């Protein structure tokens, strides 16, 4: 846990202000601890409960944040919640009344959670804090929380802020400005007109899970043609020049029903929704390409308008739609903003952090000095484990390992294994806050390998074969491999950039269609080159990424290649691993070859009980996402 703990220990006892932020009861519950304006800890509840996108009150996440700060619930000065539940309830009631009696079933489904927990938040939070916290609770508005999470940790003294998601209380998008220690949102788009819900409607219609499968739809888009884009713009939306829009709600069902789209939507797109897990057809690929194109058009119009209205050169983004890294790549490349910073936990988990930072700067008026490269600390804000803790665990389960005292030697050894096409589970340092694995809880492989994309999807992750893998690249060699504007980085894997032309391979004959596109070897790093040559990249630098950067340097020294595959350390439906036992279980149950936890290296072939860990039993623990 390094020097961060030292700082807390020496500060404790002196006058300080400790603020806990909480998000809960929708999806991706999380807690964040901010002490004297510094982000001490932040983590999603799912990492502990092993339920993906867990929405329950984040008891474990809170417990961890307090322990990381050396605090008890009674020592907190403020507790913030990331939205205003009464306003949300008002939206629910008004929507129900507007559609009565059509929405009765969905209303009934939502009621128990509201009546038992959401409308009694202070009571629930008292319970979650062990009845120790006696001060006030602060409820920030949903989009204010997103905006605060985007601006306050950013490196900018002033910036325009744009937030885009499914829905908060009423707002589904907002923009405004951040200056120094204050943010002010001046414009909002209101429910039911929502870019997040529009994208989710297509996610649902294409047979993926809402609030979870959106990134699969984005990954599917390059297999299709945007042949429905005009239809979407003509029939479903009235899109204005400034990016605001109204939706024709007769095509949607989310206001009154339990489904996202209506029969009229199905008629427009040639039949009923795709059943989950059934074969993907050209229609889904084309729908994915179409809604992606429309989404980018809307976001780019909004961004241009925000630029016109604010006249600022920096832009901060948050909200679930800001996880659409294809769109983000276009914002970066096509401007007009000079600089872009996106909150890595852009979804609702990040609201916990936003609420805490909002209290510190905006409510308490504490000054803010922007940090370089930013104040997010690489987003490595969750639990970490010492060598001693890892050793105790490994000895407890009878694992066979080799321990490396010397970090350089460890990195050279692991780089050799990757270069020989071994698949590595890599658990180092503190867990990532946000949905992406950034080299702390990652599965790594050789990006040069022609078989790695298929091996990883089928034998390690047990997920859909069409899904691409993301690269990590040494930050100072990015432009050699990817078309990124010079001097730009992507430390949080939130941008997509095309693979550089000089790294692509010439293609003969007619281009294949649909899923056959997968079979083509397209570049010198085929495992991370998507079918349209795009790559969702993470740039790795020594400041943010420590040992992970050393590993990539060792791989470069051995192979000349500064690029590896980095995918999250989990299987399909499983939250990213967090604790040593999670990593060990996932390693033992899958076909992963090697597990590296801190200084310990485990080879699968050496493990005594390898055959006792069965993949089907392991897979059955997690609901398909």
Q: How far is the CB of 433 from Fe ion (least distance, A)?
A: 16
Closer Cβ to Fe ion, 321 or 452, answer by number? 321
What does the DSSP 8-state code read for residue 504? B
Segment near Fe ion (CB under 5 A); pick from 6-14, 242-250, 345-353, 557-565: 345-353
> Residues 8, 31, 44, 593: what is their CA dihedral angle, to the nearest 10 degrees?
10
Cα distances from 490 to residues 283, 378, 535, 564, in angstroms, run 32, 11, 12, 15
Closest among 475, 470, 469, 468 to 490, alpha carbons compared: 475
Residue nearest to Fe ion (CB): 165
Q: How far is the CB of 343 from Fe ion (least distance, A)?
A: 11
Segment near Fe ion (CB under 5 A); pick from 81-89, 185-193, 347-355, 469-477: 347-355
Q: How far is the CB of 172 from Fe ion (least distance, A)?
A: 9
Segment near Fe ion (CB under 5 A); pick from 302-310, 344-352, 385-393, 416-424: 344-352
Segment near Fe ion (CB under 5 A); pick from 174-182, 346-354, 478-486, 562-570: 346-354
Closer Cβ to Fe ion, 167 or 423, answer by number? 167
Segment near Fe ion (CB under 5 A); pick from 221-229, 253-261, 340-348, 447-455: 340-348
Closer Cβ to Fe ion, 163 or 534, answer by number? 163
Q: Which of residues 245-274 bind Fe ion (CB under 5 A)?
A: none
Closer Cβ to Fe ion, 27 or 293, answer by number? 27
Closer Cβ to Fe ion, 357 or 473, answer by number? 357
Does 432 contact Fe ion by CB under 5 A?
Answer: no
Q: How far is the CB of 55 from Fe ion (least distance, A)?
A: 12
Structure tokens at 412: 């050279």
Q: What are phi and psi of 291, to 5 degrees?
A: -70, -30
CA 441/CA 579 separation, integer angstroms: 10
CA 39/CA 330 separation, integer angstroms: 30
Q: Which of residues 567-586 bind Fe ion (CB under 5 A)?
A: none
CA 455/CA 460 separation, integer angstroms: 7
Burial call 28-40: b when 16+ CB within 10 Å, e when fewer = bbbbbbbbebbbb
Q: How far is the CB of 344 from Fe ion (least distance, A)?
A: 15
Structure tokens at 503: 């790294």
Q: Which of residues 152-171 bind Fe ion (CB under 5 A)?
A: 165
Q: How far is the CB of 589 from Fe ion (least distance, A)?
A: 33
Q: Cα angle vertex 340, ends 334, 342, to 5°?
A: 120
Q: How far is the CB of 62 from Fe ion (least distance, A)?
A: 20
Structure tokens at 114: 């509201």
Closer Cβ to Fe ion, 42 or 595, answer by number? 42
Closer Cβ to Fe ion, 43 or 71, answer by number? 43
The mark string for 168-197 relative to Fe ion (x by CB under 5 A, - otherwise) is ------------------------------
Closer Cβ to Fe ion, 30 or 415, answer by number? 30
CA 258/CA 262 separation, integer angstroms: 10
The mark string for 110-149 relative to Fe ion (x by CB under 5 A, - otherwise) is ----------------------------------------
Closer Cβ to Fe ion, 286 or 348, answer by number? 348
Q: How far is the CB of 379 from Fe ion (least distance, A)?
A: 18
Closer Cβ to Fe ion, 88 or 391, answer by number? 88
Segment near Fe ion (CB under 5 A); pick from 341-349, 431-439, 482-490, 568-576: 341-349
Phi-psi region of 598 (alpha: psi -120 to 50; beta: other; left: phi over 0): left
Does 348 contact Fe ion by CB under 5 A?
Answer: yes
Closer Cβ to Fe ion, 349 or 460, answer by number? 349
CA 246/CA 462 separation, integer angstroms: 39
Quickly list H helices, 345-429: 349-358, 387-396, 407-419
CA 341/CA 421 separation, integer angstroms: 35
Q: Which of residues 382-411 bind Fe ion (CB under 5 A)?
A: none
Across-strand partners of 471? 565
CA 156/CA 314 separation, integer angstroms: 7
Does 83 contact Fe ion by CB under 5 A?
Answer: no
**Contacts with Fe ion: how many residues (CB under 5 A)?**
2
Residues 578 and 382: beta-carbon distance below 8 Å? yes
Residues 380 and 344: beta-carbon distance below 8 Å? no
CA 7/CA 4 separation, integer angstroms: 5
Contact positions toward Fe ion, by CB under 5 A? 165, 348
């Amino acid at each position: 846990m390094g020097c961060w703990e030292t700082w807390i220990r020496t500060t404790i006892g002196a006058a300080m202000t400790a603020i806990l932020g909480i998000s809960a009861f929708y999806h991706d519950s999380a807690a964040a601890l901010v002490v004297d304006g510094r982000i001490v800890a932040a983590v999603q509840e799912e990492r502990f409960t092993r339920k993906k996108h867990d929405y329950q009150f984040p008891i474990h996440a809170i417990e961890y944040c307090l322990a990381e700060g050396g605090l008890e619930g009674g020592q907190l000065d403020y507790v913030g919640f990331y939205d205003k539940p009464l306003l949300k309830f008002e939206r629910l009631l008004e929507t129900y009344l507007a559609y009565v009696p059509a929405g009765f079933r969905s209303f009934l489904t939502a009621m128990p959670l509201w009546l038992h927990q959401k409308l009694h938040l202070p009571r629930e939070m008292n319970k979650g804090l062990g009845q120790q916290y006696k001060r006030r609770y602060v409820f920030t508005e949903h989009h204010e929380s997103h905006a605060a999470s985007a601006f306050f940790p950013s490196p900018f003294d002033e910036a325009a802020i744009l937030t885009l998601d499914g829905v908060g209380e009423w707002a589904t998008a907002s923009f405004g400005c951040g200056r120094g220690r204050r943010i002010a949102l001046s414009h909002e788009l209101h429910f039911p007109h929502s870019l997040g819900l529009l994208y989710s409607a297509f996610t649902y219609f294409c047979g993926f899970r809402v609030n979870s499968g959106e990134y699969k739809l984005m990954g599917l888009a390059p297999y299709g043609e945007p042949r429905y884009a005009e239809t979407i713009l003509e029939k479903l939306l009235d899109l204005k020049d400034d990016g605001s829009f109204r939706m024709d709600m007769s095509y949607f069902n989310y206001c009154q029903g339990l489904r996202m789209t209506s029969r009229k939507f199905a008629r427009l797109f040639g039949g009923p929704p795709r059943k989950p897990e059934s074969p993907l057809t050209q229609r889904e690929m084309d729908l994915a390409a179409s809604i992606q194109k429309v989404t980018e058009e809307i976001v780019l119009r909004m961004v241009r308008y925000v630029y016109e209205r604010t006249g600022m050169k920096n832009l901060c983004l948050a909200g679930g739609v800001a996880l659409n890294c294809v769109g983000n790549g276009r914002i970066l490349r096509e401007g007009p903003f000079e600089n872009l910073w996106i909150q890595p936990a852009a979804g609702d988990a990040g609201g916990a952090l936003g609420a805490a930072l909002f209290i510190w700067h905006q409510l308490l008026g504490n000054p803010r000095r922007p940090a370089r490269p930013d104040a997010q600390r690489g987003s490595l804000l969750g639990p970490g484990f010492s060598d001693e803790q890892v050793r105790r665990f490994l000895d407890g389960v009878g694992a066979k390992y080799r321990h490396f005292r010397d970090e350089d030697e460890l990195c050279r050894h692991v780089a050799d294994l990757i270069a020989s096409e071994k698949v590595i589970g890599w658990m180092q340092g503190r867990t990532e806050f946000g949905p992406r694995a950034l080299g702390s809880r990652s599965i790594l492989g050789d990006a040069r390998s022609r078989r790695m994309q298929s091996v990883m999807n089928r034998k390690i992750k047990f997920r859909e074969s069409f899904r691409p893998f993301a690269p990590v690249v040494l930050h100072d060699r990015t432009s050699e491999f990817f078309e990124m504007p010079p001097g730009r980085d992507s430390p949080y894997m939130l941008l997509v950039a095309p693979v550089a032309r000089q790294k692509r391979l010439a293609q003969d004959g007619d281009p294949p269609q649909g899923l056959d596109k997968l079979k083509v070897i397209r570049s010198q790093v085929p495992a991370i080159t998507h079918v349209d040559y795009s790559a969702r990249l993470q740039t790795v630098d020594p400041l943010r990424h420590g040992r992970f950067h050393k590993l990539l340097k060792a791989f470069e020294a051995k192979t000349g290649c500064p690029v590896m595959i980095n995918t999250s350390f989990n299987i399909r439906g499983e939250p990213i691993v967090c604790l040593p036992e999670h990593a060990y279980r996932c390693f033992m149950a899958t076909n992963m070859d090697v597990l590296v936890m801190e200084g310990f290296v485990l080879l699968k072939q050496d493990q005594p009980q390898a055959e006792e860990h069965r993949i089907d039993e392991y897979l059955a623990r997690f609901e398909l996402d």
